[in-house]
Amino acid sequence: MILTVDRVTKWFGEDPTRTYALRDVSFGVDHQEMLYIVGPSGSGKTTLLSVISGILRPNAGTVTVEGKDIWNLSADDLADFRLHTLGFVFQDYHLFPRLTTAENVAVPLVLRRVRWRDSLRKAREVLEVVGLADKAELPPPRLSGGEQQRVAIARAIVAEPDLLVLDEPTASLDGDTGKRIIEFVKTRILEAHRAIIVVTHDDRIYQFATRIIHMEDGRIVDRAEAVA
Amino acid sequence: MSGILSLAMKLLLGDRGKFYTLVIGITFAVFLMMLMTSMFFGIIQHSAANIINIGAEIWVMDPNVQTPQNSIPMPDYMLDVVRSVPGVDYAVPLYLGAGLVRLENGDYQAATVVGLDDATLFGRPPLVEGRTADIYRNNAFFVVRDANYAKLGSPKLGTTFEINDHRGVIAGIATVPVGSLFGLPTLYTTYGRATQDLPSTRYVMSFILVRPKSPAAVAGIQRAVHALGYRALTAAEFTTRNDQFYEFQTAMGMNILIMTLISFVVGLSIAGETFYMFVLDNLERFGALKAIGARSSELVAMIFYQSLVVGFLGFGFGVLLASGLIAFGKLKIPNYAAVITYQNLGMALVMVLVISVVSAYIGIRRILRIDPFVVFRS
Which position has the higher pLDDT, A107 or B272? Answer: A107
Q: Does B118 touch chain A (CB under 8 A)?
A: no
- Can you name the residues that pair with B94 across neighbouring β-strands? B207
The answer, yes or no, to whether residue B253 has pLDDT greater than 80, is no
Contact state of A79 with B10 under an 8 Å Cβ cutoff: no
Tell me the residues of chain B between 258 and 297 that have a Cβ less than 8 Å away from chain A: 284-285, 287-297
Q: Which residue of B has its CA nearest to A50?
A: B373
Residue A110's pLDDT band (boundaries 50, 70, 90)?
A: very high
- List, as one string, the DSSP characters of B287-353: HHHHHHT--HHHHHHHHHHHHHHHHHHHHHHHHHHHHHHHHHHHHHSTT------HHHHHHHHHHHH
What are the backbone angles phi and psi of residue A86, rounded to the nearest 5°? -110, 150
- In chain A, what residues touch B377 (CB-CB under 8 Å)? 46
**B3 in reach of chain A (CB within 8 A):** yes
CB B61 within 8 A of CB B351: no
| A102-106, A148-152, B39-43, B331-335: range with highest mean pLDDT | A102-106
The mean per-residue pLDDT over the stretch A190-200 comes to 84
Q: Above pLDDT 90, what percent of chain B?
A: 43
pLDDT at A225: 64
Chain A residues touching B367 at Cβ < 8 A? none
Please list every residue in chain B whose beta carbon sits closer than 8 Å to the beta carbon of residue A96: 11, 14, 285
A contacts of B297 (beta carbons < 8 Å):
76
Q: What is the pLDDT of residue B199?
A: 66
**Interchain proximity A88–B2, CB inside 8 Å:** no
Fold of A3-99+139-225: Rossmann fold (3.40.50)
Judged against a pLDDT cut of 60, whether residue B284 lies above it is answered with: yes
pLDDT at B84 over 80: yes
| pLDDT bracket for residue B246 (50, 70, 90) | confident
Size of interface A-B (CB pairs under 8 A): 95
For residue A93, give how far its alpha carbon lies from the nearest alpha carbon of chain B (Å).
Answer: 9
Q: Phi first, then psi: what are they for A7, rounded to 5°?
A: 50, 50
Q: How confident is the model at residue B288 (pLDDT cuts 50, 70, 90)?
A: confident
Residue of A nearest to B298 (CA): A111
Which residues in chain B have their CB less than 8 angstroms from residue A50's CB? Answer: 373, 376
**Over 80: is that where the pLDDT of B373 sits?**
no
- Please report, rounded to a whole number, the percentage of residues in chain B having pLDDT higher than 70: 97
| Mean pLDDT, range B188-198, rounded to an integer | 89
Whole-number Å distance between alpha carbons of B55 and B332: 29
Q: Considering only the beta carbons, identify the residue of B10, B284, B293 that sits closest to A99.
A: B10
Least confident window among A26-40, A185-199, B170-184, B207-221: A185-199
When mean pLDDT is compared over A218-227, B208-217, B248-257, the highest value belongs to: B208-217
Mean pLDDT value across residues A183-203: 82
Q: What is the pLDDT of residue A151?
A: 92
What is the pLDDT confidence band of residue B377, given thresholds at 50, 70 and 90? Answer: low
Q: Chain A, 67-96: which have a CB under 8 Å from a chain B CB?
A: 75-76, 79-84, 86, 88, 90-92, 94, 96
Chain B residue with the nearest C-alpha to that of A159:
B292
The residue type at B198: L
The DSSP secondary structure of B50-61, one letter per residue, reads HHHHH--SEEEE
Q: Do B376 and A91 touch (CB under 8 A)?
A: yes
Over residues B4-32, mean pLDDT? 88
Confidence tier at B107 by pLDDT (50, 70, 90): confident
| A90/B375 Cβ within 8 A | yes
The answer on pLDDT for B222 being more than 90 is yes
Please check the confidence at residue B378 and state whether its pLDDT lies above 60. no
CA nearest to A92 within chain B: B378
Instruction: Kindly report the nearest CA distance between residue B318 and chain A, in angstroms.
Output: 28
Q: What average pLDDT does the structure give for chain A?
A: 88
| Average pLDDT score over chain B | 88
Confidence of residue B1 (pLDDT cuts 50, 70, 90): low
The span from the CA of B104 to the CA of B152, in Å, is 9
Mutate to test the interface with A, among B292, B297, B373 (most CBs of A within 10 A): B292
Any A CB within 8 A of B167 CB: no
Question: Measured between CB atoms, which of B1, B284, B371 is closest to A94?
Answer: B284
Q: Where are the domains of chain B?
A: 2-47+251-371, 75-229
A12-68 pLDDT, tens per residue? 988 888 899 999 999 999 988 999 999 988 899 989 998 999 988 999 999 999 888
Per-residue confidence (pLDDT) for residue B11, from 0 to 100: 86
From A218, A90, A214, A66, select the one nearest A152 (Cα to Cα): A90
* Run of H or E including B356: helix B342-369
Q: How far apart are the first and last CA of chain B?
A: 30
Nearest CA in chain B to A116: B3
Q: Residues B308-353: pLDDT tens digits?
A: 999 999 999 999 999 999 999 888 876 777 888 898 899 889 988 9
8-state DSSP, B135: G
